[in-house]
Structure 1
């Protein structure tokens, strides 16, 4: 099945689009201007296999845009093999579940401060979900308070993910990352960047890591917006969380499965002629995974289109954070951010409800809201 990235259904109704693609074939294709053909894996079994298969390799060519001025050193998402293992080894201790849990009080404080400023009616995307990630990043990375106004300003541009404002923000993010690395080299603190400076990583490698942390750090904000919309459209599920707050960690996993904001993984290149589910793919082609499709694969998840915050994880989990050697390094932190945000919203605004129709951003690569009007 061939998908058109300009088709409104692909961008605004990806659930139905990818359900049809998954039923048709284990691999769909999409012609993307400037990138060429993308081969899109649609089924869970084949996605897990592909994401751990050394015949599919990441490289700098996997990324459509590498910012000018970014140090010329590879990042974790651009390399495989021993180089990837080395970079991952020095970064991993800063992103463990234990370390992420230590940051929970800071995240709770950040969330409370943002919610203190909300008045009904509000746009939860503009007023909370978008500003929250950059505030959390500043806090856990260790950005000085005097420099945070700049980070907040560029954060708004980065979260847009496109356009002139995004391009203009890049040099400021890179300069800010360089300054932050230099400061933490000289003045260690209790933050992720200090943890990273104690590794064997070079300054250039740390700057690239901070840049990608800023980019990846926007995912929790988009997830939170998607999650709130989903819960408000399924009031029985929201009621379960109000009555049983201990379900929230499980609910986060279900929401990651059900409304993950990242639709496609970073493309990998085939190093030889391969087959996926019987579909032949030539050497040198770009292969990606539709996360939304594989996370709703009925072969793995019973009644996959039903949102169920009590769903018990099975032997196969969702792939919202990918799989294998490139499993998302910041997954533990993203989970805690989402848990904290949902807990605070449910506790503080028990009468939260939609105010008007949510607006989605047309984007074939991401499923995210442009606005989410709420009142209480």
Structure 2
């Protein structure tokens, strides 16, 4: 993987104050302004954004659609703005900003149906909501993804991993197996189906949707899945079981359940959560959790195969796995850029004037490689200690929009990678590391394929 020391330099003018574009307008492109879809940033996000980080804390650039945006790259600044309530994820409440295409750190498929001109597919998407709706929706989602529920799910995650590993040799072509297609994505899809409580009859549709997500063409499959989730929410309201959908529908247990729980929910934002909102929440959670978690597994496997000394540490001390996963999330995490967040008022941040209605994007990959926070950030070190209070990386966000599925993603990555290396101690890349092809995504780090040779088995 390229590091800041290995990539070419791009000159960027100092960022202070820029005249904002009018409502719905895109400012003209300036040659010195970095764009998140620029080839050099797509090819080497660690190096490219690292140079921007060292030129200033906030840089004027262009978003994926060419619209002007402020890019924030330093660790402490990113954490601060993630919890700054003067910025919102949805532009709807910002005067002069269109309501369409609300900024979201999840996948487009979770937000829009094909041809709907930016209309949210379902109303329960957490990234598309801000307070107070966000509070009302996040509470049942956090309860449904509690540590207790994840611990109960772990044996099923382990079973799914073992079943996929049993089948891996049968997928070999020319002696090589693609871990993206035959392990990372099927595992993430299967775990989410277990968590949600997808009926066996719908598992085929679920697997198809997972495959379409992996291929980047999930619009039609997402629309079909949304319909099934609405039906499932209605069934679970009438006959609850022990699954995610039923947990989302349950009254707030922290308030004692029943009428008290309903009253607490109403106080947090009003009314019970609807079947439509439950379906939207589930779709947003699984869409945000499927691809990034699968990508973390694939990226982590590639990183460990490329660093045999670090892999040997895990072989010698399996208790190191939780810390190792945290370092892998920092070093090769799947999400490298948040969606746009809009300023609701004129403000000054790090001597830069940001006007109401202007957007910022927080560059998580630059923050996670910030030497002010992480000594020798280019080094993969599975024994790395947190560099201060709180998380040692910001890949899962921070504040009210922190990733609710972070615990599940960590658990899946640990189970998947530990089982893979235990079952196949002779595992090796089937191609040189520089030949691994990445999907050119501004917001994420995704391997198109990860061909490996299984070698001897454990």
Pick the TM interval, shorter chain. over 0.9
How far off its partner does 1:33 sit? 5.3
Select which of 215, 225, 234 maps to 2:287. Answer: 215
Query: Considering only aligned residues, what root-mean-square deviation do their CA atoms show, in Å?
Result: 1.7
Q: Which runs of 5+ in 1 are unaligned?
A: none
> Is the Cα–Cα contact under 8 Å of residues 46 and 276 in structure 1 kept in the other structure?
no
Matches within 5 A, 1:226-375: 226-316=299-389, 317-356=392-431, 357-375=435-453
Q: Distance in 2 between matches of 1:305 and 1:109?
A: 35
Please tell me whether Structure 1 or Structure 2 has the larger radius of gyration of its CA atoms. Answer: 2
1:116 counterpart residue number: 166
How many residue pairs match? The answer is 373
Q: Distance in 2 between matches of 1:180 and 1:225?
A: 31
Deviation by residue 1:30-77 (Cα, 9 ceiling, x = unmatched): 323536122221001111111111111111621465224865525221
Matched, 1:187 2:239: yes
Q: Distance in 2 between matches of 1:102 and 1:171?
A: 30
How far off its partner does 1:278 sit? 1.9
- The 1:187–1:283 alpha-carbon spacing in structure 2 relative to 1, beyond 3 Å, is same
The residue matched to 2:448 in structure 1 has which SS?
Answer: strand
With structure 2 as the length reference, what TM-score do the two structures score?
0.78
Matches within 5 A, 1:84-95: 84-95=134-145
> Is the Cα–Cα contact under 8 Å of residues 12 and 367 in structure 1 kept in the other structure?
no
The residue matched to 2:188 in structure 1 has which SS?
Answer: helix
With structure 1 as the length reference, what TM-score do the two structures score?
0.94
* Mean CA deviation greater in 115-124 or 137-146: 115-124
Q: Which runs of 5+ in 2 are unaligned?
A: 1-11, 13-32, 91-98, 252-271
Select which of 66, 76, 80 maps to 2:126. Answer: 76
Q: Distance in 2 between matches of 1:86 and 1:179?
A: 22
The residue matched to 1:288 in structure 2 has which SS?
Answer: strand
Structure with bigger RCO (C-alpha 8 Å, 6+ apart): 1
Deviation by residue 1:116-153 (Cα, 9 ceiling, x = unmatched): 11024201111111222111110111001111011101
Q: Distance in 1 between matches of 2:235 and 2:187?
A: 24
1:138 counterpart residue number: 193
> Is the Cα–Cα contact under 8 Å of residues 132 and 221 in structure 1 kept in the other structure?
yes
Flag as ranges the 4+ runs of structure 1 deviating above 4 A.
68-72
